[in-house]
Amino acid sequence: MDWLRDIIDYVPANIDQLRELTGNHLVQAILPIIFGVLLAVPLAQLARQNRSLAGIMLTGSSILYTIPSLAMFVFLPLILGTSILSMVNVVVALTIYAIALLMRSTVDALNSIDDGVRQAAVAMGYRPLRRFLTVDLPLSVPVLIAGVRVISVTNIATVSVGALIGVPSLGRLFTDGLTRNYPEQIAVGIIFTLLLALVLDLLLVLLERLLTPWTRPTKASEADDVALDARTVAA
Amino acid sequence: MDYSSSNLFVQMGEWLANPDNWSGSRGIPMRIIEHLGYVGLTMLFAMLIAVPLGMYVGHTGKGRVLIVSGIGILRALPTLGMVFLFALLFSRGVLPAVWALVLLAVPPVLSGVYSGIASVNSTVVDAARSMGLTEWQILSRVEVPNGLQVMLGGVRAGVLQVVATATVVAYAKADGLGVFLVEGTQVNDNGRLFGGAVVIAVVAVAVDGIMALLQRFAISPGLRAARPAARSEKESGRQEAVASAQGGTT
Amino acid sequence: MTHLSRPRAVRRAMMGLAGGLTAALALTACGANSDPQGETESDAPAGSLVVGSADFPESQIIAEIYAGALNAGGVDTTVTPNIGSREIYYQALEDGSIDLIPEYSGNLLLLADPEATAESAEEILDALPDALASNSPDSNLGVLEPSEAEDKDALVVTAATAEEYGLESIGDLAPNCEEFTLGAPTTFQERAYGLAGIEEKYGCALGFEAINDGGGPLTLQALLDDTVQVAEIFTTTPSLEDNDLVVLEDPENNFIAQQVLPLVNLDTVGDEAQEILNEVSAELTTEDLLSLNREVSGDEKRDPAEAAADWLSEHDLDG
């Protein structure tokens, strides 16, 4: 079990580097989630109000979603004028994926809200913006968070790929580990990546409970999570 | 290769237009074949694992929690790290990379198959059972055709992810479309770097399009008009929204 | 009750999220050094130097050696490791993000002047100043005294292969050329010193197997399991010695000389600092690189900075 010992010893011996890379990794994974939500919700609302626009946006975003991350990381500097080493490329690429995935599920969520609820809000004198922010949006939080959870897990895994083109993240432990013939270092990178994904997911579950105090967590939300892959593609 | 301009878009266009890059063992068509070879082999293994497992769990309902959490963990695995780790630990060659990619492909296929089977309306299943169908017949004649749309959705998602991620193989074993990115960086050839990225994107979009067509034509004609998956999804979403709305007002 | 407490819960969640993000950003701010586009200069005290390194261990080790010696000599210095490939860190040097970086004379010359024909160590050193000046007219870049240490590309074979075919130099491959497959990165097929160069200089067209880890563990594995019989591996790689590999001589200089030397911004690296760096170069040998690489990439897996610190104290350069 020497290798296990090596893995455990690696962490305290390289704590500064790990802290730095984890920080870089988190920023590149979390910023796209925030930007994704902030952009996808208004876009989804826009799509619901204009059918032809909706078709264009949904098709466009699903094509963007298909473009592999490495190609996107390489290509974005051309369009943005950023350095190829810049974290901005990774953040923008992952934001695009997040919007593509969230927009569709947000449209579905907003569409699924009972008209009776909306009409009740209108009857109470809510203007459209207020109704959207205080009725429609909170009611679609569970679907939104289910999407965000999928994005956060894939983001954490995808950020590593940036290391191939020199963007700092936990992925550097993989590239450096290969050149140094150091499988333990790669293993540490994998374990840290898994832990980050787990912690972020727990925080999101917590966030959902805080934002939707009227629901109790049900078995159904777990099944939703599993079905999301199939659903986004099947839809 | 010499470019007529320092403009990166021009270089990209010239690289893509140069016939030299479309022939030979290092040409674009050969790299596409290598790439799709990895995808095919990976999906074969992934489906051999995920399809029976997903059907079993979907049909019996046993081990649901186990696969849901297993899928969650697998999804979070960084494939780049797995490719490099397997390359160092096991023999060189194609297989270590393929196994790393299999770990990537199993979660979407498994969740698609499982939720496809599990989504079939239980009254339909009960009706089949009361007609005297065996469990195997129920699975193959009722659950699979009814859940096929969702199941294929999972396979499609898996293919898409593997096509995208197989690019990282080039950083260890020099195969597939990722090679253009590696070479482009190493010899500072931006035409190749960006042209290669375009080829990868086009291949991914094309493969996904083909999968979408397959998905459409594989559906039993009796179900095609009704689109049961889409409908039941809307209904469950609606129920969920209604439930939360009620919860919120009481 | 629920709808009264909801806004507070939302606010609390948002604040938690914001706090987490701030913490994450703060963490990266500490690590901003590794981003060459980042404001590297601002977080170093005025007048201090920044040593960069390329994205492979040997470069990191030498960068740590430079920085350690400079700090010991009273010149305040920080290290920005892992910048990336030559093109990228050269740009970082031009735009002032870093002040100096360990370099290899031959490859540096080919970057500054792709048409250069110099092959021997002296020719390369003679050609470098003009090439740098014409490649970067807006910066005052230059190289300092070269060290004796060299790390160049080489073709290696196993001891068994060497014995079986009587191999000492690359030219000895020629009589049995068709039996050999060479393992190297894909780009070896198009480099001037690659397959074409070997065929031209030694009359041997080798078979080829692409392995993209830059002469790393996968290349070694392929050589040892006889997937390839010849491999391109750098001369300071400890696995050469560990596996009893034979480096084929290169009398025709297919692989040009690659002496280790500091590439510096002459405007910011002053006389005092130059003197210290010259002292380091006077001490650094190829054997040192081999053993330093062994410490960092061998079984020990030492931190490059620690290995560098030991080397400095062995050579009395740690102040």
The CATH number for C196's domain is 3.40.190.120
**ipTM confidence:** 0.83
Q: Name the CATH superfamily housing domain A2-234.
A: MetI-like (1.10.3720.10)
pLDDT value for B14: 95
Under the banding of pLDDT at 50, 70 and 90, the label for residue A2 is confident
C143 and C287, same domain (yes or no)? yes
Is C11 a domain residue?
Answer: no
pLDDT value for B1: 65
Interface of C with B (CB under 8 A): 2-3, 85, 87, 185-187, 189-191, 210-213, 217-218, 221-222, 225, 227
Of the residues C213, C247, C281, which one is the last residue of a structural domain? C247
Question: First and final CA of chain C: distance in angstroms?
Answer: 70
Structural domain total, chain C:
2
Rounded Cα gap, residues A143 and B113, in angstroms:
21
* pLDDT for A182 beyond 60: yes
Select the residue from C6, C8, C33, C34 to test the A interface by mutation, using most A Cβ atoms within 10 A. C34
pLDDT value for B225: 54
Interface of A with C (CB under 8 A): 6, 13-14, 19-24, 26-27, 30-31, 34, 82-87, 166, 168, 172, 175-176, 178-182, 184-185, 203, 206-207, 210-211, 213-214
What is the least distance, in Å, from the CA of C230 to any CA of chain A? Answer: 19
Domain coordinates in residue numbering, chain A: 2-234
Select the residue from C6, C86, C110, C186 to test the B interface by mutation, using most B Cβ atoms within 10 A. C186
Rounded Cα gap, residues C308 and A35, in angstroms:
43
| CA closest to B117 among chain A residues | A227
Under the banding of pLDDT at 50, 70 and 90, the label for residue C95 is confident
Segment C178-186 shows an average pLDDT of: 92
C130 and C146, same domain (yes or no)? yes
- Token duo for residue B207: 């493969």
B 104-163 residues with CB < 8 A to A: 107-108, 111-112, 114-116, 118-119, 149-154, 156-157, 160, 163
Contact (CB<8Å) C24/A27: yes
What is the least distance, in Å, from the CA of B135 to any CA of chain A? Answer: 23
C281 and C140, same domain (yes or no)? yes
Contact (CB<8Å) A166/C296: no
Strands of chain C, DSSP E: 49-52, 77-80, 100-104, 141-143, 153-158, 181-184, 207-210, 230-234, 245-247, 260-265
Of A168, A184, A210, the CB nearest to C35: A168
Segment A190-202 shows an average pLDDT of: 94
- Expressed as residue numbers, the domain containing C112 is 49-150+257-314
Q: What is the pLDDT along chain B (250 residues), one digit of tens a residue?
A: 678 888 888 999 999 999 999 998 889 999 999 999 999 999 999 999 999 999 999 999 888 889 888 898 898 899 999 999 999 998 667 788 999 999 999 999 999 999 999 888 889 999 999 999 999 999 999 999 888 988 999 999 999 999 989 998 888 888 899 999 888 877 778 899 889 989 999 999 999 999 999 888 877 666 655 544 443 443 333 333 322 222 222 2
C85 and C140, same domain (yes or no)? yes
Any bridge partners for residue C78, and if so which?
Answer: C50
Q: Which chains neighbour A (Cβ–Cβ under 8 Å, 3 or more pairs)? A: B, C
Q: What is the dihedral of CA C95, C100, C101, C105, to 10 degrees?
A: 100
What is the least distance, in Å, from the CA of A148 to any CA of chain B? Answer: 14
- Token duo for residue B169: 């193989």
C268 and C183, same domain (yes or no)? no
Size of interface A-B (CB pairs under 8 A): 211
The alpha carbons of chain B give a radius of gyration, in whole angstroms, of: 22
Q: Name the CATH superfamily housing domain B8-219.
A: MetI-like (1.10.3720.10)
Report the alpha-carbon angle A22-A27-A32, nearest 5. Answer: 140
Residue B41 to residues B44, B85, B110: CA-CA distances in angstroms? Answer: 5, 20, 17
Q: Which chains neighbour B (Cβ–Cβ under 8 Å, 3 or more pairs)? A: A, C
C165 and C283, same domain (yes or no)? no
Rounded Cα gap, residues B149 and B147, in angstroms:
6
Of the residues C212, C247, C282, which one is the last residue of a structural domain? C247
Rounded Cα gap, residues B210 and B152, in angstroms:
12
Query: What does residue B57 show for φ and ψ, rounded to 5 degrees?
Result: -65, -40
pLDDT value for B92: 63
Report yes or no: A40 and A158 within 8 Å, Cβ to Cβ.
no
* pLDDT for C166 beyond 60: yes
Element (H, E) at A104: helix A87-111
Contact (CB<8Å) A168/C34: yes
